Structure 1
Amino acid sequence: MIGPSEATGTRFVRVLLSGGKPGVVLEGETIRAWGADGKLSAEGAGRVTLTAVGERIRWNGSRLLGRTLDAAGAPELRVGDRKAGGRVRLVARKGELLAVAVVPLEPYVAAVISREAPPRFHPEALAAMAVAARTYAVGATAKPRDTAYDVVGSVEDQVFEGMDGVASVFREAAERTRGVVLRYRGELVRTVYHSTCGGRTESAEYAWGRDVPYLRALRCDDCADSPVYRWEYRMSAAEGRRVSGALGVPPGKDLRFAVASRTPTGRTNRVRISSGGVSRELKAAVFRKTAGYAKIRSLKMEIVPVGGEWRFAGEGYGHGVGMCQFGANGMARRGAGFRDILARYYPGTETAGEAP
């Protein structure tokens, strides 16, 4: 596990950029790679293709190297379309190649919040988001997802699209709150967050079946100016058939989707799919993932059949648990500081000045 550097005291986060594929492309004016023994293994320029061959890595279609490589580029290294923000560790595993960016914590925090909020957000809201992103990352380094990486650079954990386009307001939010994390009774908080709650956040108990004292449902009157406070999606007959088939119900002409149950906050808990005498109930979160997060933006929704299609009408964007980002911005505009915002969305928690 990569923690603070003994030489500099800098904390790093290992972010999975690419996995489940046989290869990856690195780009840089100059590219160097070191083996597990710390010795220079290969050099290249411009564009280098790496592929996994069992438990070893092939360099540019020719040289067969070891199981792990640490790569760096000058002046920078890109993995696909993402600027890595540091060195990249490559790991061959059963014919698949993992590409893991090893990024200093504070630049990582700035990059994460740059993908979570527009630069027009109030500085106090951005500061609250920086503390939440940092706390999540520090917790992940203590309990990593995998031996090779701490977090996934997507909505599975925190979106990390590289260091391109990180505006100064995001770097300032990270720098201003440098080292600050959120704790509950001395333990790091699971600082989950979402774009827009639609007027009421969700409890972790109802969303994920875990009763977390600082992740309870609460009223939020500050996110009404979000562009996704209300939304609508029209699912075509063809798309409905795709979703139904993917979820194990062969679609027929009588295909139906319906809300089977709701949580106390009004979010859909289970969805019923029926067709041709076959009926299946499943978790609404699974249904939403299959249909697409950007289409069905939240589970605070209604399903209305319209001819052979379906209209999904809802409020908010995201799972609804923890901090509502547009709500945080609304609070900040009313004069709340970042600590006030964090105390509101994670009740009973306290900020601590130093990351462990």
Structure 2
Amino acid sequence: MKIGKLIICLLFILVWMPLTSEASVQGARQSPDVKIGLWEKQSSIFVSADAPFVLLDSDTHKIIKKYDANVKLFIVFKNKQLFLNDQPIKSKNIGIELENPDADKGIEINKKSYRGSMEIRAAVSGMTVINKILLDQYLYSVVPGEMPDSWSAEALKAQAVAARTFALYSLHKHEEDGFDLCATTHCQVYTGKKAEKTNAIQAVDDTAGIVMLYNNKPIYAPFHTTSGGYTENSEDVWGTYLPYLRSVLDDDAQAPNHHWQLDITPLEIQRKLAAVGHPIGNLQAIELSPLQKPGQNAADRTTTGRIKTMSFIGDKDIVRLTGNQVRNIFSLKSTRFDISMIVPVDKKIDVPLGDYYKKEIKVDLPPYQEKNFITDTENIRRIHGRTGEIISFSGFGWGHGLGMSQWGAKAMAEKFAVNKNGDFKDILNHYYKNIEIKKIY
């Protein structure tokens, strides 16, 4: 009998071993819960719900009180204590749950409605509001915030899988804060039920549990608006080599920001540099190699042309900045750009008439692009110094250029719809290399 029981136990272990030996997230058989930090350091919050709800002590799980739908509560934290409608309560952490969970109903926090349940944690710095919600219900709000709900179904599905994978990869980002993910761009923008859209919800449901894996773990799955023709290698943007983030050709020509331009004066450049701690004085020149075709760019650019470093030369100092620093300082859409000096021309000239007279003639010639002076390096773009001179940034794409280009995904999905050949997995395999696309719950 003992041998028989031992055999049964061994068989049970062998059956379940494949499930428990994989990454923990792969052991899930339904959408896992995630904790989203909505607000931190709050001194007061409004609470309500569109269905009957209960307040409970999060530490003891005892119900504090039950409330009818649409009852409004005001919770304040002061003098190291929580107050509920001006009455002190003993609980340090409060839970908020619907009395009968309903997918169509929500809990309202500060006039925004959210699925799932809530926890309010009090600390010295104030209250932290945490939304506990199923991962896929969280994505109902995230996906339409990242991609228009009117776009093709396969593009929305690709976005849903990328957002789900990104969330699973990032689960421990805010572990020290007591939750998994925040509700801002630091993780993914999450604003609750109001942001939800029908087609995005369908895309999330159609791809339920599907993620991108590398070495059996969720990948870091960034995405961006548009690449400007080519996505980027991870090490050329953030310095870390990831085998699944490789540069690929991107058909995003229909994107509004496939090509963009920003004109700025030398004085504005000086002021913006000084504002971030780089007082270079009067701008004399900018050092940057010309933007070339992919594979032909100089050492200060990536192979696709995104800027690694560039220098601003003033009469007091020279500052060398990374492409990302330049993008942030001057609010550029991407780091794949070139610059040119646009010099105004005189609007009138004097024409001699004989030996003693001249006539003033108005002209309407357009500004012209200043050609590089003969210098020690062809990369030096000198400032001419004429009144009205501008520096024109001419760039491509919007975003960091890593992973999926959303406008490129849109173009691929539209082709699939016409050709009846291809789906969201083809989109993902184009932008993320050497991955496994797998349903894990």
Size of the alignment, in residue pairs?
343
Pairing of 1:1-356 with structure 2 (within 5 A): 9-19=30-40, 21-29=41-49, 32-35=54-57, 36-41=59-64, 45-46=71-72, 48-51=74-77, 57-59=82-84, 63=88, 66-72=91-97, 76-80=106-110, 82-141=112-171, 143-147=172-176, 148-220=178-250, 222-234=251-263, 240=269, 243-250=272-279, 252=281, 254=283, 261-273=300-312, 275=314, 277-291=316-330, 295-304=331-340, 307=388, 311-335=392-416, 336-355=422-441
- Give the Cα–Cα distance (whole angstroms) in 1 for the partners of residues 389 and 92 of structure 2: 52
Q: What is the distance in 1 between the residues matched to 2:75 and 2:267?
A: 38
Matched residues in 2 for 1:105 and 1:163: separation? 14
The worse-fitting range, judged by mean Cα deviation, of 247-256 and 279-288 is: 247-256
Using the size of structure 2 for normalisation, the TM-score is 0.68
Distance 1:137 1:161 in 2: 15
Structure-1-length-normalised TM-score: 0.82
Q: 1:230 to 1:96 in 2, by over 3 A?
A: farther
Please give the secondary structure, in 2, of the residue aligned with 1:262. Answer: coil
Rounded to whole Å, the distance in 2 between the matches of 1:238 and 1:23 is: 43
1:123 & 1:313 partners in 2: Cα distance? 33
Matched residues in 1 for 2:268 and 2:84: separation? 41
Q: Percent identity?
A: 25
- Answer whether contact 1:69 1:91 (CA < 8 A) is retained: yes
Match of 1:334, as an amino acid? Answer: K
Cα 1:252/1:214, change in 2 over 3 Å: same
CA–CA distance in structure 2, aligned partners of residues 79 and 332 of structure 1: 37
CA pair 104-240 structure 1, distance change in 2 beyond 3 A: farther
Q: Is the 1:41–1:65 contact (alpha carbons within 8 Å) kept by the matching residues of 2? A: no
Contact 2:118 2:129 in 1 (8 A): yes
Q: How far off is 1:283 after superposition?
A: 3.0
Instruction: Give 1:338 shift.
Output: 0.8
Write the deviation string for residues 90-125 of structure 1: whole angstroms up to 9, x where unpaired.
333441433222221112122111011112211111
- Give the 3-state SS of the residue equivalent to 1:131 in structure 2: helix
121-130 or 40-49: bigger deviation: 40-49
Write the distance in 2 (CA, Å) between the matches of 1:251 and 1:23: 43
SS of residue paired to 1:319 = coil
| Residue-by-residue CA offset, 1:148-186 (whole Å, 9 max, x unaligned) | 121222222212122214221011101111111111232
Q: Deviations over 1:32-57 (max 9, x none)?
A: 54332212447884352544756x54
| 8 Å Cα contact 1:91/1:98 also seen in 2 | yes
CA RMSD in angstroms comes to 3.3
Distance 1:53 1:239 in 2: 48
In the alignment, is the contact (CA less than 8 A) between 1:119 and 1:170 conserved in 2? Answer: yes
Give the unaligned 5+ runs of structure 2: 1-23, 100-104, 290-299, 343-387, 417-421
Shift of the 188–283 alpha-carbon distance from structure 1 to 2, 3 Å rule, reads same
Alignment-mate amino acid for residue 18 of structure 1: W
**What does the per-residue CA deviation read over 1:263-283, in whole Å, with 9 as the maximum and x for residues that have no partner?**
222112235455561333333
**Unmatched tracts of structure 1, length 5 or more:** none
Contact 1:249 1:275 in 2 (8 A): no
Q: Is the 8 A contact 2:31 2:136 kept in 1?
A: no
Q: Is the 8 A contact 1:12 1:105 kept in 2?
A: yes
